[in-house]
Amino acid sequence: MHMLNKRIQILFDEQLANKIVERAKQDNLSMGEFIRSAVTDKLEQEELSKKRQNAYDQIQTLREKYGKKYAKGKDSVAIIREMREERTKHLLHILHDK
């Protein structure tokens, strides 16, 4: 664990403070350890959520890019077939150039 050298004072209402105390006891943690763990988990979840959103946005961008190139009213099977044919032609071209 990192060296703990920064103190932050946080006020909780009584109900939430009681829940924290009980939960920390259940997990055999001090209140400080429990709160640090909860904050760390929240920050990691937010970071993961940002990464997922970024990946989703990239996929959407690719879908739009290739959708414009290949779709043109075709069904997905026809699109995939056309992409495969294009890939095969490209690979054959590479093989013949060697």
C-alpha dihedral (36, 37, 40, 42), degrees to nearest 10: -110
d(CA 26, CA 17) in angstroms, rounded, equals 14
pLDDT score at 78: 80
> How sure is the predictor about 52, in pLDDT bands with cuts at 50, 70 and 90?
very high
| Per-residue pLDDT reduced to its tens digit, 19-37 | 999 999 999 999 999 999 9
DSSP state of 11: -
pTM for the structure as a whole: 0.59
Over residues 51-76, the mean pLDDT reads 81
Cβ pair 20, 12 in contact under 8 A: yes
pLDDT score at 55: 93
Percent of the chain with pLDDT over 90: 57
Where on the phi/psi map is residue 95: left (φ > 0), alpha (ψ -120 to 50), or beta? Answer: alpha
